[in-house]
Structure 1
């Protein structure tokens, strides 16, 4: 799928929303249908390269964006004058295993795997803390590293692997922590296959971004209302069976 986005605005009364292919684009199609009843016209612009979306928003090539989680958005605010208009959905990170049927079976000293990249590792460590397997220093916040761990009550051996190797590692470790996109590519679904799943109101919930200068525009409130409508909620629940979660 390739959509060229570097073009002039299509019309002043049409709101252009940048998304990535897959879940965000699918949900925005439902939002688009709801918005019509509010006299809000949406044009969904799909980007193959997500790194171009915030720049396109800042340069007025689109009017809103729905593709990134909270920490990623916060990091990009240092480059662009963007505002968080509201939450979208959470694509949950989860714990998967071929050896265990629940976390109570986890043995002392077991080996586990988490992503090697800094952002993925931090998110995985927060998830493991939420399941009381680890604790780490408060100062670490959403940027926790292995060095920040202050308690590992089962003495788990934590291996950091590239994301693309985590699924294969399930044959060798007690469990692996895998994000939603990588899990889906491997045929895994958090609600069906995981031993533990990230909460819908995770700090990594998705962000509906707009330009700071547009934050108070009436169409922004209309767009958020459409995103949080009962129709969209029903679609998310029935289409994804809680493998995509609603923080609203």
Structure 2
């Protein structure tokens, strides 16, 4: 009788251990499911390639699409997302400063250009005195828009410790007027202004070829897109692996074929300075 009780006891313990092990395995699989927020266009398209590459390594990447530039950071901050990839390093830095959000850039993915577009003129030189020019209306892209207008010689922006604003224009020889317009609306507004700044990703979304349609394309832009995460997850190896996959051969090939010279993968995924 004692032997039977002992055997039953041992069998029960073994069943319990096996059940716990199975539960642990299921938990591990669950931990490898990573929710990443993106916006439409290149962020979504490129991240879907990353998803395919991650799947080969046993990492399930769930891509969640957003249609604005604030909610993905809020969703990351609240824990609804594990990562997001939709913004430049500078945009994230400004968001963190404004909202005191405990999120950080883990690494970079790709760079994209901005361009000057016009329905009235075929070159920057044709833009007349007193023309009205559009700048993208968030703080980072106001600065970037002004730098682009400076790059082509239309204005000069005085050096600042932070982001430049329209008030920081120190030379404006053509007496140009600048108005702030939401980035996705700039193309629709071109018929009522003389020229405006449009992100190449927005141009592509509207079926335009930036190399043909822009009267000038930004050169050597240093506004890399980043993968963001919560500060507490900065050392998560799966998250770091996702960043590395944005630099995989499959992603590079997709970008070269789909976007040619408009987008390009950053050199070092973890170089953020």
**TM class, shorter-chain normalised?**
0.7 to 0.9
Q: CA deviation at 1:28?
A: 0.6
Per-residue CA shift, 1:177-216, capped at 9, x if unaligned?
Answer: 223455446543323311222346433x311101111112
Judge conservation of contact 2:113–2:221 (CA < 8 Å) in 1.
no
Name 2:111's counterpart in structure 1.
90
Q: CA deviation at 1:47?
A: 3.0
Name 1:226's counterpart in structure 2.
245
Q: CA deviation at 1:66?
A: 0.6
Name 1:150's counterpart in structure 2.
170
Count of paired positions: 236
Aligned partners of 1:56, 1:190: CA distance in 2, in Å? 32
Greater helix proportion: 2
Residue 82 (structure 2) aligned to one of 63, 66, 71: 63
Q: CA deviation at 1:30?
A: 0.4
Judge conservation of contact 1:108–1:156 (CA < 8 Å) in 2.
no
Q: CA deviation at 1:81?
A: 1.3
Name 1:208's counterpart in structure 2.
227
Aligned partners of 2:160, 2:91: CA distance in 1, in Å? 19
Q: Tell me how large the CA RMSD over aligned residues is.
A: 2.9
CA shift in 2, pair 1:62/1:162, >3 Å: closer
Name 2:20's counterpart in structure 1.
none
Structure 2 residues not aligned, in runs of 5+? 1-28, 268-273
Q: TM-score, normalised by structure 1?
A: 0.80
Query: Which structure has the larger Rg?
Result: 2
Q: TM-score, normalised by structure 2?
A: 0.73
CA shift in 2, pair 1:106/1:55, >3 Å: same
Judge conservation of contact 1:200–1:246 (CA < 8 Å) in 2.
no
Aligned partners of 2:225, 2:142: CA distance in 1, in Å? 18
CA shift in 2, pair 1:202/1:35, >3 Å: same
Per-residue CA shift, 1:130-153, capped at 9, x if unaligned?
Answer: 233322111164x22222112234
Name 1:5's counterpart in structure 2.
none
